[in-house]
Amino acid sequence: MTSVTLRPGGRPLSGAVYGCLLNVQDELDRLGDAINEAPYNGAPTGPVMYVKTPNTQVADGTPVVLSADVDQVRVGATLGVVIKDTLTRASADQARAAIAGYTLVNDLTVPHDSLFRHPLKQKCRDGFCPIGPCLVDAADLPDPDGLTVRALINGECRQQWSLAELVRPVATLLADISDFTSLYPGDLILVGMSPDAPLAGAGDTVAVEIDGIGRLQNTLVAEGESAR
């Protein structure tokens, strides 16, 4: 097993961090008929993307500060895919060959119901994207689509979901994104977030686990308080 410790913003994570909405089957199913009603007016025809801005990206162990207007956050346990070769309008096979490796990501999100506009206030707060601790070489995880993702709060498993539920499996997802948005070496793609992501608040220790990749753990602290 080959793995390197990750430092957000440094190599090999020098690029953009993109998340994907509606890439988990259960997420789509729960929308039900609403998907065809205003304001959505129909299922998306391609991957629905969002950005986790550089201010959100922190390492394993870094305390995450919740500002006074945030009571709770969803623990968005997911797989992060790191790119090693540029993908532009690629096939799934090309995409698979361009994966450097995998890591854990906690896509912390302020709960929100509407999926109409971009969720900056919900997803782009400082520290809201813990990443790491390691990058596991792609060759050591030949079948990422069979992995199980767990979200833990204070050591207790609060959610478990399988990457078999992805609407677009990893390689297909990358290929479809690259139809309109090229992916570059150092970019990180979060493959999706399950709708049952548990809620946590200040004082909680939150963690993401995938067997074979490890555990990413951070503590949530209230603004003005230091980490315990």
**Contact residues: other proteins, CB under 8 A:** 15-16, 18, 21-22, 39-42, 44-51, 53-56, 67, 69, 88, 115-121, 124-126, 177, 179-184
Tell the smallest beta-carbon distance from residue 132 to other proteins (Å).
Answer: 20
Tell the smallest beta-carbon distance from residue 72 to other proteins (Å).
Answer: 16
Amino acid residing at 165: E
Tell the smallest beta-carbon distance from residue 198 to other proteins (Å).
Answer: 22
The position carrying tokens 């305390």 is 63
> Quick one: 119 or 201, whose CB is closer to other proteins?
119
Residue 129 · residue 122 · CB < 8 Å: no
User: Is residue 172 helix, strand or coil?
Assistant: helix
- Closest CA relative to residue 139, chosen from 100, 95, 112, 182: 100
Tell the smallest beta-carbon distance from residue 137 to other proteins (Å).
Answer: 25
Q: Give the bridge partners for 210, in sequence order.
A: 149, 214
> Quick one: 53 or 160, whose CB is closer to other proteins?
53
| Cα 73 from Cα 65, distance rounded (Å) | 11
Tell the smallest beta-carbon distance from residue 179 to other proteins (Å).
Answer: 8
> Quick one: 15 or 214, whose CB is closer to other proteins?
15
By CB atoms closer than 10 A (0-12, 13-18, 19+), residue 10 is: exposed
> Quick one: 75 or 87, whose CB is closer to other proteins?
87
> Quick one: 52 or 96, whose CB is closer to other proteins?
52
